[in-house]
Structure 1
Amino acid sequence: LLPETHVVEERWPVPDPARIEVQLNEGQASAARRLEEAVQERRHAAFLLDGVPGAGKTEVYFAAIAACIRAGRQALVLLPEIALTSQWSARFTRTFGVPPVAWHADVRSARRRKIWRAAIEGKVPLVVGARSALWLPLRDVGLIVVDEEHDPSFKQDDGVTYQARDAAIARARFENCPIVLASATPSLETVVATSSAGPDRIHRLVLPERHGSAPAPKVDIVDLRSARPRRGAGFLAPRMVGELEATLERGEQALLFLNRRGYAPLSLCRACGHRFRCPNCSAWLTAHRLRRRLQCHHCGFSMPEPDHCPECGTTDALALSGPGVERIADEVRHLFPNARTALLTSDTATTAGQAAAIVGAVERREVDILIGTQMVAKGHHFPDLTLVGVVDGDLGLGGGDLRAAERSFQLLYQVSGRAGRADKPGRVLIQTHLPGHPVMRALASGDRDRFVAAEIAEREDGLLPPFGRLASLILSGARQVDVQAAARHLALAAPIDPGVRVLGPAPAPIALLRGRWRERLLVRARLDVDLPDYLRLWTGAVRLPSAIQLMIDVDPYDFL
């Protein structure tokens, strides 16, 4: 416990159970009853709240939170992004009459100490926060909610690696309370768990239609192979520009999505072709025009935009290749000089307050075109936003990530759901060079379940998660030759097991990260293998040089 000298007595707002009213339609009420029963019976059960964007999933689990508060117990809600807490908190306050207690990286240490003590004393009825809120010592947990449960932000890759969604399920079991996993695009692991018959089964509650009269937005694919932007004119196809113009003429709002920060992902010299690389990582430097700097998005290294090439000395020869959101914002301002624009990225909204200010401006109709990265895709409700334009739908489909197609579909489906959430019909345009890709076909047809079934079948054939388990072993050190030797030594020491296959070693996709060279081994195991025990047996018998660091990530989400 914290010293008494740090404790400042504070009154924590508690909703009046008699005044809590959550308005639900028939489908929402049916799902809410299942959750309320589990809360009232004080029993553990896991639920997937599966509803299309705009179906009112938040209102359903608000009803369960109300039941939890009436029972005098505490509720915990996990959100994937700090930026979501402000809008979520506003909805909570309107429903419950008091604000929730928020826990995330922007909360100051003095406030954290108060929340920590109030949690353990049972004085806070509800906490909403990022994944770290899971570790608060709440005295009497009656309900846990993981909103956007599919989101990769719930996996922590630095320091102690853990998947907050899975840890939340475990805590709900320990607390003997229900847990709600809410998503419009559930993870494949969660979908498969809904069909299992064992104690780990997740019960599925489906909300197939949008709340109110809003129909699902119409999704169209823009084939950039035939409908490319005019040469030198920018990165928005003529059809995208036309839809933006028509939307603005109707007095409605639009959103342009590109999941790439900065102005341009590659900077080079026009004279000699020199490319600007990070000195600490095997990665290119991204140009950020707002700050006039080149920056590495892996280690944080940055430098001013150079006035001459360090290789050939030519001045004013810096060429910026490819688009980032800042470049798209410039293009939009050039095309529509009278339109009010806003940029929502982790660079323009570094705190929850800054993100809330941008979101509030959109809600108040002070913004005509919102441009952003994945921060704009999750949970936002903008009634007058009717057009969503995806600048590059292919961006997440490459690389060696087994979840690449799943993640791309989830992200594009989520951002598509921001269009037409009130009484005005929505429209979505996705620019792509791969119109025949299964992700693009699924988005255009709206057949999510068929896409998920195909992905599940492919994973099952390859014994990949959730039908097998993976572990990533990353060795790193200052000297590449030493890391390679240690990786070979570790691989040769792997125990023989018919249910386990060890792949590698091989250079990690980002072979140099923060000044350290990296080699990776990937372990694939059957579900009946105790993978942590296998790893302990293996690594415990190997003595690595003190200069070599070994990081083990069971069930990895990051394959960099």
Structure 2
Amino acid sequence: MAVAPPPSSTHASGADQPTTGGLRVPVLLPMPFTGPFDYKAPASMALKPGDIVSVPLGNRRQTGVVWDTHTTLPADLAHPTPAKTVADNRLRAVAERLELPPLNAELRRFVDWVAAYTLSPPGMVLAMTLRLHMKGATPAPAMGWIAPPTPPEELRLTPARQKVLALMADGSPRTTTDIASAAEVSAGVVKGLADAGALRPVLLEPASPFAQPDPLHHPPVLEGAQKEAATALRHSVQDKKFSVTLLEGVTGSGKTEIYLEAIAACLEQGQQALVLLPEIALSAQWMDRFTRRFGVRPAVWHSEIGQKARRQTWLGTADGSATVVVGARSALFLPFCNLGLIIVDEEHESLFKQEEGVIYNARDMAVVRARLAGFAAVVVSATPSLETLANAHAGRYQRLVLPTRHGGASLPQTHLLDMREAPPERGLFLSPRLVEDIAATLGREEQAMLFLNRRGYAPLTLCRTCGHRMECPHCTAWLVEHRNRQVLSCHYCDHTEPMPPVCPNCKTEHSLTAIGPGIERITEEARQSFPDARILVMSSDTLGGPAATAEAVAKIARREVDLIIGTQIVAKGWHFPHLTLVGIVDADLGLGGADLRAGERTIQLLHQVAGRAGRASAPGRVVLQSYTPEHPVMQALLSGDFDQFMEQEAEQRRPGFWPPYGRLAALIISADTPQAADDAAARFGRTAPYGEGIQVLGPAPAPLAILRGRHRRRLLLRTWRSIAVQPILHRWLGLVPLDRHVRVEVDIDPVSFL
């Protein structure tokens, strides 16, 4: 990963209310400006970098952060832009310093780095740290009572009052409610003692909402490769130096239990730890494992938690009371005061890439944050990304490998089912052989799973009479039928419309038909084939959030489910001990098109799904339905040789310096009309950079040529690994003036090519 330059810093200020006196301070606002604005610090206000302040902006107040005057990014990648300096007598004054913990230097530097690397306004990166906690007032300290050393001489003692005074003799302050409850008296007794001078009022420190994990609570018994890996991770944390370790192990090898030992080492040193998960639904079983190991639950950060919990967690990371946080990618921007470890679980997951706003990969930025602050990072996967494997092979990452499953469980046997030889009946999608395998599994009172990574009932609806296809009016995408809700939906822009009774084109009644299977259609077929089976569907359409997911997982664990049918959510590291058969309905899905990472993504996904089978004493089986069993992905899954497949992928990418052996950046140009998009793309094409080790592909229509009503064109900048793309992009973007309705997004290290 290359280091990027800082964005330009523009020092400007409103001048309608000039002030005098005080010092000039830069204040970064969580808004899309190119840099901080200069303000004047009142003489009575001693401000330092990191302080959170309220400042005037136009005719309103805005929260911002006093920023550093200089950054420490490498000079060879810097993008200097002359700053606009406003005269001292035209500066507006900082209105207030807020009673919030300041952002430390490590986090401020991290914000600058992310902005520089992604070519984003630094204020928009700051917004990911600052905005989410600002709603609501900081709770005022509660009032409590403490007993003086000696009670008043004239105090009249009753049995109830004696019980209160005996309780308070330890000198600990307590609230009225706590005193009344513990002493088993009424609140009036407490008030009477206060009125008589026997209790004095005190301000109570607010109780932390976060219990402290105990690293000695329930340590695991580890042997062999597991013990060696845990010891190595502990040493990497205890060294208190920057390092990155790849923890790689087959599904069910106990990777979570091992990296929990790294967290224990971090806690023993009095530091904080952050665990990033790609999917918030994963937190259900993960939280149970953490609680068993440490005795308490960690702090949680993701989009589903409420505003109060969000604010508590933000403050808890800032003051150190939240010692372990588990969260989605945005947790990376929390203001930890003493962070000593970051763990990225399922590091290969594309969900770590944010595709809108500030476009960044949380896995890569986690490594940057660890490097800036000088602590250990651990990336974890059964199927590591080619980027991570390349870093390990080059010696940049340490590599720990767990080759066997925990507790003596064996890896599942994989079988390829050639659908050309054993096709399903007309209108169905499950081969008779797979149906027989499921029936036998259910007959043994074991659990089975069907996997299809496609939501809805059918991916395409067309007219049998005229061939018209139901398409999104705002995107270049077919509408997906959701039969349970009787609607057609676009999975890109969320456009939804009722299923029409007639073809919109030829007006023929009842002529619309579903083409291809979605998970709802497979569920319908499974109910017909297994009418007595208890079926549970796991997809984003059926699981509303972490609580619903936790309940679904609990039902599976209690054996209240016979057949699980799911999309990619079932591939996310679940432990289902009674699941012995996994049937993959369409193993070829995802291999089509020209996606650079199609093969890598498919083998990772299917390998992870297959890993759900046979994780306890009963052996597992995996059945792959495929029309191309000769494909290298299918053969690799059959042999179980993931490493050899990834080596072949690497050999294919090296000659053309494709990532990770070269650098890639995408320009996505969008406009209201196709002509405007074409014109802007053509201007970028004419001014494209060139030189040894530099190549520009395009312009060309993006695969999703229309998205949310905007017409999209794409150019790809590809360079040798030794060439940083950010300076090239800065120069290129500066050569092309844009019309008002044209937007350009920059995606460094693109994961998706839609």
TM-score over 0.5 for the alignment? yes
Instruction: Out of 2-11 and 133-142, give the one that drifted further.
Output: 2-11
The one of 282, 290, 306 aligned to 2:500: 306
Spell out, residue by residue over 1:410-446, the C-alpha distance to the aligned partner (whole angstroms, 9 max, x if none): 0000000000000000000000111010000000011
Residue 396 of structure 1: how far off its partner (Å): 0.7
Amino acid in structure 1 at the alignment position of 2:270: G
The one of 32, 36, 44 aligned to 2:242: 44
Amino acid in structure 1 at the alignment position of 2:255: K
Residue 336 of structure 1: how far off its partner (Å): 0.5
Which residue of structure 2 lines up, in the alignment, with residue 124 of structure 1?
Answer: 322
Q: How does 1:333-352 map to 2 (within 5 A)?
A: 333-352=527-546
Which residue of structure 2 lines up, in the alignment, with residue 457 of structure 1?
Answer: 651
Q: Distance in 2 between matches of 1:17 and 1:208?
A: 27
- Residues 20 and 66, structure 1, Cα contact 8 Å, conserved in 2: no
1:203 maps onto 2:398 in alignment: yes
Larger radius of gyration: 2
Which residue of structure 1 lines up, in the alignment, with residue 138 of structure 2?
Answer: 6
Spell out, residue by residue over 1:25-56, the C-alpha distance to the aligned partner (whole angstroms, 9 max, x if none): 22111011111112122121110001000000
Which residue of structure 1 lines up, in the alignment, with residue 486 of structure 2?
Answer: 292
- Residues 81 and 130, structure 1, Cα contact 8 Å, conserved in 2: yes
1:222 maps onto 2:417 in alignment: yes
Which residue of structure 2 lines up, in the alignment, with residue 496 of structure 1?
Answer: 690
Which residue of structure 1 lines up, in the alignment, with residue 581 of structure 2?
Answer: 387
Q: Distance in 1 between matches of 2:563 and 2:503?
A: 36
Structure 1 173/20 Cα, relative in aligned 2: closer, same or farther at 3 Å? farther
- Residues 460 and 470, structure 2, Cα contact 8 Å, conserved in 1: yes
Q: Distance in 1 between matches of 2:373 and 2:221?
A: 29
The one of 505, 508, 513 aligned to 2:699: 505
Q: Distance in 2 between matches of 1:272 and 1:19?
A: 68
- Residues 216 and 294, structure 2, Cα contact 8 Å, conserved in 1: no
Q: State the secondary structure of the residue aligned to 1:261.
A: coil
Which residue of structure 1 lines up, in the alignment, with residue 363 of structure 2?
Answer: 165
Q: How does 1:91-490 map to 2 (within 5 A)?
A: 91-197=289-395, 201-232=396-427, 234-490=428-684
Amino acid in structure 2 at the alignment position of 1:123: S
- Residues 400 and 559, structure 1, Cα contact 8 Å, conserved in 2: no
Q: Distance in 1 between matches of 2:449 and 2:207?
A: 41
Q: Distance in 1 between matches of 2:408 and 2:675?
A: 63
Q: Distance in 2 between matches of 1:193 and 1:307?
A: 55
Q: State the secondary structure of the residue aligned to 1:509.
A: strand
Gaps of 5+ in 2: 1-51, 53-97, 101-136, 141-205
Amino acid in structure 1 at the alignment position of 2:729: L
Q: Distance in 2 between matches of 1:111 and 1:20?
A: 27
Q: State the secondary structure of the residue aligned to 2:525.
A: helix
Q: State the secondary structure of the residue aligned to 2:752.
A: coil
Q: Distance in 2 between matches of 1:7 and 1:557?
A: 42
Q: State the secondary structure of the residue aligned to 1:392.
A: coil
Q: Distance in 1 between matches of 2:592 and 2:664?
A: 20
Residue 223 of structure 1: how far off its partner (Å): 0.5
Q: Distance in 2 between matches of 1:356 and 1:533?
A: 46
Residue 316 of structure 1: how far off its partner (Å): 2.0
Q: State the secondary structure of the residue aligned to 1:358.
A: helix
Which residue of structure 2 lines up, in the alignment, with residue 63 of structure 1?
Answer: 261
Amino acid in structure 2 at the alignment position of 1:526: W
Q: Distance in 2 between matches of 1:64 and 1:236?
A: 44
Higher relative contact order (CA 8 A, sep 6+): 1
Amino acid in structure 2 at the alignment position of 1:533: P
Spell out, residue by residue over 1:487-518, the C-alpha distance to the aligned partner (whole angstroms, 9 max, x if none): 00111012332221111111111111100111
Spell out, residue by residue over 1:231-272, the C-alpha distance to the aligned partner (whole angstroms, 9 max, x if none): 23x100011001000000000001100000000000112222
Amino acid in structure 1 at the alignment position of 2:675: V
Spell out, residue by residue over 1:304-363, the C-alpha distance to the aligned partner (whole angstroms, 9 max, x if none): 111122212222222111000010011101100100001111111131112212112111
Residue 3 of structure 1: how far off its partner (Å): 5.7
Amino acid in structure 2 at the alignment position of 1:139: C
Which residue of structure 2 lines up, in the alignment, with residue 538 of structure 1?
Answer: 732
The one of 542, 550, 554 aligned to 2:748: 554
Q: State the secondary structure of the residue aligned to 2:407.
A: coil
Q: Distance in 1 between matches of 2:692 and 2:473?
A: 42
Q: Distance in 2 between matches of 1:13 and 1:326?
A: 42
Alignment TM-score, normalising by the size of structure 2: 0.73
Q: Distance in 2 between matches of 1:353 and 1:101?
A: 16
Q: Distance in 1 between matches of 2:414 and 2:601?
A: 18
- Residues 435 and 441, structure 1, Cα contact 8 Å, conserved in 2: yes
Residue 395 of structure 1: how far off its partner (Å): 0.5
- Residues 690 and 696, structure 2, Cα contact 8 Å, conserved in 1: no
Q: Distance in 2 between matches of 1:469 and 1:183?
A: 23
Gaps of 5+ in 1: none
Spell out, residue by residue over 1:125-160, the C-alpha distance to the aligned partner (whole angstroms, 9 max, x if none): 100011011111111111110000010001111110
Q: Distance in 1 between matches of 2:207 and 2:516?
A: 52
Residue 6 of structure 1: how far off its partner (Å): 2.6
Size of the alignment, in residue pairs? 556
Q: Distance in 2 between matches of 1:541 and 1:317?
A: 53
- Residues 7 and 114, structure 1, Cα contact 8 Å, conserved in 2: no
Q: Distance in 2 between matches of 1:355 and 1:3?
A: 38
Q: State the secondary structure of the residue aligned to 2:648.
A: helix
Q: Distance in 2 between matches of 1:282 and 1:150?
A: 28
- Residues 213 and 298, structure 2, Cα contact 8 Å, conserved in 1: no
Q: Distance in 2 between matches of 1:17 and 1:476?
A: 51
- Residues 22 and 62, structure 1, Cα contact 8 Å, conserved in 2: no
Instruction: Out of 160-169 and 62-71, give the one that drifted further.
Output: 62-71
- Residues 256 and 370, structure 1, Cα contact 8 Å, conserved in 2: yes
Amino acid in structure 2 at the alignment position of 1:489: R
Q: State the secondary structure of the residue aligned to 1:6.
A: coil
Which residue of structure 1 lines up, in the alignment, with residue 715 of structure 2?
Answer: 521
Amino acid in structure 2 at the alignment position of 1:23: V
Q: Distance in 2 between matches of 1:128 and 1:461?
A: 40
Q: State the secondary structure of the residue aligned to 1:444.
A: helix
Q: Distance in 2 between matches of 1:539 and 1:46?
A: 34
Which residue of structure 1 lines up, in the alignment, with residue 150 of structure 2?
Answer: none
Which residue of structure 1 lines up, in the alignment, with residue 146 of structure 2?
Answer: none
Q: Distance in 2 between matches of 1:274 and 1:488?
A: 33
Q: Distance in 1 between matches of 2:570 and 2:217?
A: 33
